[in-house]
Amino acid sequence: MSTVNYDYIIVGAGLFGAVFARQMTDVGKRCLVIDRRSHIAGNIYSEEIEGIQVHIYGPHIFHTDNEEVWRYVQRFAKFNHFRYEPVANYKGELYNMPFNMNTFHQMWGINTPQQAETILEQQRKEITGEPKNLEEQAIKLIGRDVYEKLIKGYTQKQWGRSCDQLPSFIIRRLPVRLRYDNNYFNHPYQGIPIGGYTRMVEKMLAGIEVKQGVDYLANKAELDRLAEKVVYTGPIDAYFQYKYGPLEYRSLRFETEMLECDNYQGVAGMNFTDAETPYTRIVEHKWFEFGKGNVGKTVITREYSKEWKPGDEPYYPVNDEKNQCLYERYKAMAEKEPDVLFGGRLAEYKYYDMDKVIAAALTVSELENRSV
Ligand code: UDP
């Protein structure tokens, strides 16, 4: 006696789940999307406060070099021409990010790429051979001066580990440029969806059944019966009841304040790169939309990084060797799980950007289409 009502039950209404649900619905599959939270859009969820789109789970800037993904998102939102150009604040000294001629001018008082190259070459020599950790990678990339002022303290706060205990790939996300160019990302397409991320995901989920406030793992047996297949986008270790022990994540705490002023810091993101300031950055949300919002108001968020413990929201996977090995064990179990697809940042334990999540969901849905 089967009570199967859906082809897919999709656990998690974040980007992966929403894109997968959209794609499968469009080819005639019956999808049910459930989420533990009382809202859709996962961590890209945004909420309007005083006419300002507030990024509730931390700032998200959409950027991609993937034409297909860029075309895809245009179906659900128009994007503005925002460019992320954060400023680093080291004990009151301000530096442009990412590392570029402006930063080098501010750091060393030099003006030409040749002068910067000479200093960088000198400082990079400190590291011979393959960098073994983030500290060595950072010094090899950008020299000790920049490392000490703009990387060391920030990274230690963000990851709760010293830089010689962290994998080098994290820092390779940041560009180094011998040009005057403060654009944080190298990708050709960048912007913020006009009207907010939540509305974009709402459009992805248009016409699809969504149930909020439903805890999948607590009601697994009963929910599994509803569908042929499950798409799980939650933490992979939780799915397997932490059988091999918990994976480590970084969590975040946000302190959001509404202020009675038009302009608090004049930039969307300011990173506090010293070790003493307890927060990693302050985000002033209105600057993602060029100051749109009610007159005389602004909303800022101080972001504090902390170790994840049960009950906290997991944000960043800690992809060091120990955790990566543990993840591989869970992944091997996942591969044997019949009729369950694992996808997204938490289920794949991956430091995923939004465009990569969308690309992955498109690929998985195409594979599904071919197999049925
Ligand atoms: N980072 C840094 N100083 C900064 C900004 C970033 O040292 O002012 C390092 C830090 O280790 C961080 C990594 O670069 O974890 C990646 O930063 P990104 O801004 O890409 O992180 P996310 O956008 O995911 O918060």
- The sign of the dihedral angle between the CA atoms of 11, 368, 24, 196 is positive
Examine residue 130 and state whether it is found in any structural domain, yes or no: yes
Active-site residue flag, 30: no
For 137, the domain range is: 98-171
Residue nearest to atom 11 of ligand 1 (CA): 155
Examine residue 251 and state whether it is found in any structural domain, yes or no: no
Chunked in runs of 10, what are the mean pLDDT values of the chain (372 residues)? Answer: 84 98 98 98 98 98 98 98 98 98 98 98 96 96 97 96 92 91 97 98 98 98 97 98 96 98 98 98 98 98 94 90 96 96 98 97 96 72
Examine residue 289 and state whether it is found in any structural domain, yes or no: no
What is the structure's pLDDT at 372?
Answer: 63
Tell me which of 177, 202, 316, 330 is the catalytic residue: 177
Neighbouring CB atoms inside 10 A of 76's CB total: 18
Neighbouring CB atoms inside 10 A of 362's CB total: 18
Question: Is ligand 1 within 6 A of the CB of residue 150?
Answer: yes
Residue 82 CA: distances (Å) to CA of 46, 210, 328: 16, 31, 38
What is the structure's pLDDT at 368?
Answer: 95
Do residue 209 and residue 330 come from a single domain?
A: yes
- Give me the number of domains the chain comprises: 2
Neighbouring CB atoms inside 10 A of 178's CB total: 15
Examine residue 351 and state whether it is found in any structural domain, yes or no: yes
What is the structure's pLDDT at 2?
Answer: 54
What is the structure's pLDDT at 1?
Answer: 43
Do residue 201 and residue 344 come from a single domain?
A: yes
- Domain boundary (121, 142, 171) is at 171
* Closest atom, ligand 1, to C-alpha of 151: 7
Tell me which of 281, 289, 330, 355 is the catalytic residue: 281
Examine residue 288 and state whether it is found in any structural domain, yes or no: no
Tell me which of 35, 202, 248, 353 is the catalytic residue: 353
Question: Is ligand 1 within 6 A of the CB of residue 166?
Answer: no
Examine residue 110 and state whether it is found in any structural domain, yes or no: yes
Question: Is ligand 1 within 6 A of the CB of residue 88?
Answer: yes
Question: Is ligand 1 within 6 A of the CB of residue 89?
Answer: no
Cβ 282 vs Cβ 99: under 8 Å: no
pTM for the whole structure: 0.95
Compute the distance between CA of residue 232 and CA of residue 12 in angstroms, rounded to an integer. 7
Do residue 102 and residue 229 come from a single domain?
A: no
What is the structure's pLDDT at 174?
Answer: 86
Do residue 111 and residue 161 come from a single domain?
A: yes
Question: Is ligand 1 within 6 A of the CB of residue 138?
Answer: no
User: CATH no. for residue 204?
Assistant: 3.40.50.720
What is the structure's pLDDT at 173?
Answer: 80
